[in-house]
Amino acid sequence: MENQSFTITVKLTPQDLMQMNISYLTRQWNIWLFAVLFIFATLRIGVDISSLEFSGYTPMAIIVFVTMIAMIYGVFIGSKKSFDKFAQEERTYTFSEDDVYMESESTTQRVRWSDMVRGLCLPKYIMMFHSHNAIHLIPARSLTPEQYESIKITIKNKVKKPKQSGAKRFLKWTAIYLIIFLVAVGVTQFFLAE
């Protein structure tokens, strides 16, 4: 931060939480697998309804379809439910070279940059994870372009990057390739079943 500190005030809206949930979910690789399954389930149901012949795949397609609708609905309802008293409070953040200090009506918190688990700088938001399930959400509208860039550079330089061991990386890529293979086989069987 070039030895400068600045203070901003943040007031979140329900739309901020919903857009943050959607932005965060779309950055996860596994949600795209569910999206592909949803598309194929929808196509399977459409084919069965148009031909009035229901195959053995129809119940599975309906289960996947209903599950995806429930997940999408859960994002919207979860965003509204998580907009509790604490989320509605106005927060004051002070960013310095060493830490971030947050103060609101009900709490204060100081988090060192090096203690943060992760930081994401998206065009509309900055998400600072101080644990795996607790974040500070800063809408970009609360920041000047210089402040946004300063926080982005600080996150890049000071927030520790999680290290993956070779075994974890191997397992992760093996799982990804296995899923791609299984989806390819499923798609092939889907189209050849006709």
- Report the pLDDT value the prediction gives residue 17, as an integer from 0 to 100: 75
Tell me how far apart the alpha carbons of residues 20 and 13 are, in angstroms, rounded to a whole number: 11
- CB contact set of 37 (below 8 Å; sequence gap of 6+): 64, 68, 183
- Report the pLDDT value the prediction gives residue 57, as an integer from 0 to 100: 65
Comparing CA positions, the residue from 60, 98, 81, 96 lying closest to residue 17 is 81
- Report the pLDDT value the prediction gives residue 83, as an integer from 0 to 100: 60
Tell me how far apart the alpha carbons of residues 121 and 27 are, in angstroms, rounded to a whole number: 12
3-state secondary structure at position 69:
helix
Residues of the chain where predicted confidence (pLDDT) is lower than 70 = 1-3, 29-30, 54-58, 60, 75, 78-87, 162-166, 194
Tell me how far apart the alpha carbons of residues 154 and 97 are, in angstroms, rounded to a whole number: 8
Q: Quick one: tokens of 93? A: 């953040």
* Domains of the chain by residue range: 6-158, 163-194
The secondary structure element, H or E, covering residue 126 is strand 125-131
Global pTM reads: 0.60
- Report the pLDDT value the prediction gives residue 54, as an integer from 0 to 100: 67
